[in-house]
Structure 1
Amino acid sequence: PEELFSLIDKVIERSHLLAENRSLKAEIKRRFDPDQMVFSSAKFGRAVELAKKVAPTDANVLIQGESGTGKELIASTIHYASRRNEGRFMSLNCAALTDTLLESQLFGHVKGAFTGAVANHRGLVEEAEGGTLFLDEVGDVSPALQAKLLRLLQEREYLPVGSTKLRIADVRFVAATNKDLEAEVQLGNFREDLFYRLNVVNIQLPPLRERCEDVPPLARFFARKYASRGEQEISEAALESLQSYHWPGNVRELENVMEMAVILADGAAIDTDHLPVKLATESPRSEFALPDENLTLDEVERRFIEQVFRKNGYHKLKTSGQLGIARKTLDRKLQQYGITKPG
């Protein structure tokens, strides 16, 4: 009887764990549902639509944008909208680890592979089998590891550190970077063949300063998230200050500001007094000034693109992001107007 009771307990415990696992998966899927994303701008909307279109495929995706723009959110959305959504979504920050640790984290290692390797270790490629592996800040991977990453993407096989037995990878790759990888290729810092393997589908995320219409809904969302009762008013003056700020840290910075504002407001409506001083000292957005001369639309466009290109240090990804156009469109415009980088 005791053995029977023990067996029944184990079956009940297993059923509870399975139910909890299903519940957690459902919550994660709900959290990363594209229809639940908070935005109203057409720029971010285009990125979300592209993520939805590519999700059902197994194509590699490269997400480019500044830090804090939501690259991991888009990557997660791609995974949970894909047919691999029952598998795991694993994330690896390539900039946070040394080469040795990064290789071990990615491919795993066998016992005795190096000092401290006292047991076999499963890498994230194996852990993410049947799911998605998100390689964040992939532009920081060293040339030596880039070669191994290329083999993984190209041949779908890899070697754990210290092993001589090839493993097969059944995983979808989504990568992200805040660097202009095409420029890095030209500089010899990033392999061209790896770039093209990663860049099957390219999604560019605009910085928050270029989609200021998204600031109020995002601010309200974060205020509700951190308010103890789930409701939190924000004054019009505070919203105006939030929209006037240039947000160098993007959405991540806005979330931090709103968390602090909720604490300072202590249940009252959030006002300008509850916002950081830097928001109050930010100069208001200036209205676009028409040129005095009679210029054609093409000439105005040429001058504007030239100024933005120069202002961004001739960085094509940043320039195309600020202009809200595709990188290929920028290349065409630069050629059309004869705009080049000096020297």
Structure 2
Amino acid sequence: MLEAKLAEAGTLKKLLDAIKELVTDANFECNEEGINLQAMDNSHVALVAVLLEATGFKRYRCDRPMPLGVNLTSLTKVLKCAKDDDECTLKAADEADVLNLVYEAKHSDRIAEYDMKLMDIDSDTLGIPDTDYDARVTMPSSEFTRIVRDLSQLGESVRIEVSKEGVRFASEGEAANGSVLLKGTDGAVSKVSKSMKKEDEEIVDVDAEDEDEDGAKKSKKRKNVKKETDGDVDMDDDEEKAEEEFKPGSDEEGEEEKEADDDDEEGAEESNGKRKKSSSSSKPSKKAKTSSKSKKSKKDDDEDAENVKIEMNQHVSLTFSLKYLVNFSKSASLTNRVQLMMSNDVPLLVSYDFGQGHIRYYLAPKIGDD
């Protein structure tokens, strides 16, 4: 049996809006770790991988692994019946042929319930290959959306080039050409973090041990989107570490502000000591202290959201279809950050990480003249 309760139906609605034009029918693979969806578009040029972690649900129960085959257009219509802030519960019994959706309004007693027919969809789960990416760009998702939208007005393709100068998006059309250059916020291009490579090596070693136990040997080769092998798990840790490394501000700044706030408290208590008790004077100062910290935290988050971070081991230049990138950019409604990971002759990885999980797109580069 499956029972998964999301705090807000809006999260699921945004996910489907981002992928419904790429994929028509797909299996939601449910297990104790969460809900996965992996599918390719009809032309086998792009692959989308979605993960909703079990920890991201208010309540989650999945007794055994089960696929839920759904038509994404139909599911989108059913989800439109829910408000974005409604609590959404997905239910399915073992061997069920229907998916039950329950919407509970937060500010009223309204409970809506819908049943959607499930489909039998034959699809092979494709693995994602281990890849040492030569370039990684972390940028505001709104900026990425604007760039691909603007350039799509000029041509059908965009060349993404990562160099010491920064990351450049260039498109050539019949009537006009366009180019957008983004430089790192700190003005420098750093190397891809060593921690990422180290983790990749550890994962490769584990795979090697498993292969020895099974008595089989497999050759590791880079493959395009059409032929993938397992190994996407390590990307979560890498992206989290990258975000931690580039967090603005430092512990020393926090300590300095804390000391300054403490000095203000002591001065307030001394000046008001004759007229008020120290206990009453300390309360407003504590409130002011909390307010200043929350303001600083919000300011840091806003600054971090606008930062552009560029990491590069070697020059990378690839050309991609703008039609797909415009579709990918619809995931900007889920989070304000996006990561682009590239290597020459390897599919581009466009990754959006949000609170309940992530959505990742893999797009094969164009080969030859456009």
TM-score (ref. length: structure 2): 0.24
Name whichever structure is richer in strand by fraction: 2
Greater RCO (Cα-Cα under 8 Å, separation 6 or more): 2
Larger proportion of helix:
1
Structure-1-length-normalised TM-score: 0.25
